[in-house]
Amino acid sequence: MLKFGSGYSGNVNSAAAMREAVLQADADQATVLIIHTTVGHNFGPMLAAASETCPHTAIVGCTGSGVIYSHGVSETMRALAVMSIAGPEVAVIFRDGLTRSNGRGLVAEAAQELQGKLDGINVILLYTPGLDVTCDEVLAGIESVFGREVPIVGGLAADNAKVKSSFQFYGQSVTEHGLLLVGLADPGLELLSMASHGSRPVGEPFVVTAAEGSQVQQLDGLPAWPKVMQRLGLPAETSPVQAIPLAALGIEIDSAARDDYNNSHIMRAALQTDGTGGFYLNSRVRVGTKLFLMHRDEEKIFAGVTQMMSRMATMVDGREVVAVFQADCLARGRQSLDRVSKDEIIAKLQRPLIGDREVPWLGLYGYGEFCPLMGRNSLHTFTSALFPLVRQPAI
């Protein structure tokens, strides 16, 4: 039976912060230690301290623009949170070299190795780079091995919203193109999952008229990025990071999924331009796709979180919440231009689920979120995505 622990430290000394967080998580005998950290920490001393404190533990993790922990959130330059997982029903696979073009093959190979290490996997935690990745191809690679029935949750790593790099950890190694798969195979646990963004479409959609993979080349027959900037009244040379969250894009979803999602569109973020007038999303886009400009609606954001937690309480149905993983878009933190209180959103997520109890909790502000939607593993952006693990009733 898997056991979980979590810890947090705001100590600016990277080694001391890791030792403090590991102590809180009771992680010295853990099988796996997952690290979320902001980019200001010194990764070498941080990872060395983790290895010294947990010498028999698989140490993995990634960076984000902020970390979420039990009863709080921090977006300081040196914030660190961890989750320990102890027991035989967990396995880790890490691969380096993930890019936009090789996702399906590389990930399928990693998934096969994960399946060979551990029987009965019923939950997969997934963390990828925030940039230069085609996430639907990553999901397809995992599903080619495990099928669509195994839920995949997690997030895309990030930096401090500079959109320059993101980092992943494996042991003492640090990379910018790493893939992390954590498989859980505890038959007594059930994963619950839900996500909500709270933005609404505005105006007529753009139509993708030229695209290749995740690259949107033209909208309505014109260079894609200048077309979006023209609609927003911004200079064509405005960078994606300067336009967040004004340049959020939405794709309509099936009507059957809308009540479950609290929204009619699933969102995508243009994080990088290609230098020729196009831009990249983190998933493939096909010619003919309609892309709507999406505007954040604060009232809808808070209402969506409240509705999500009401449904989550019904899903928990009195069972014990043993651990919670979370992935939020960095635009829901301080990158939201102070129009939304990140602390209030986090409180609305945590209090209904755990109250004042010390339940292990680990979350990340990143460049995207993996969360099932209507039973299909999916990529989201601009959402709060929540993944509680509940203990099944004893038979």
d(CA 158, CA 330): 8
Q: What percent of the chain has pLDDT over 90?
A: 81
What's residue 161's pLDDT?
86
d(CA 63, CA 46): 12
**Taking 90 as the threshold, does the pLDDT of residue 71 lie above it?**
no
d(CA 217, CA 210): 5
pLDDT band at 259 (very low <50, low <70, confident <90, very high): confident
State mean pLDDT over 275-303. 93
> Could you give the maximum distance between any two Cα atoms of the chain, in Å?
63
**Mapping DSSP to helix (H, G, I), strand (E, B) and coil, where does residue 120 land?**
coil
**Mapping DSSP to helix (H, G, I), strand (E, B) and coil, where does residue 378 land?**
coil
**Taking 60 as the threshold, does the pLDDT of residue 339 lie above it?**
no
**Taking 60 as the threshold, does the pLDDT of residue 117 lie above it?**
yes
Task: Tell me the CB-side half-sphere exposure of residue 12, using CA atoms within 13 A.
Answer: 2
Higher confidence at residue 302 or residue 365? 365
For residue 142, give both structure tokens.
């995992």
The 10s digit of each residue's pLDDT in 16-50 is: 999 999 999 999 889 999 999 999 999 999 999 99
Indicate the residue type of 378: S
**Taking 50 as the threshold, does the pLDDT of residue 154 lie above it?**
yes
Instruction: For residue 102, report the phi and psi dihedrals to the nearest 5 degrees.
Output: -120, 15
State mean pLDDT over 186-205. 94
d(CA 345, CA 332): 9
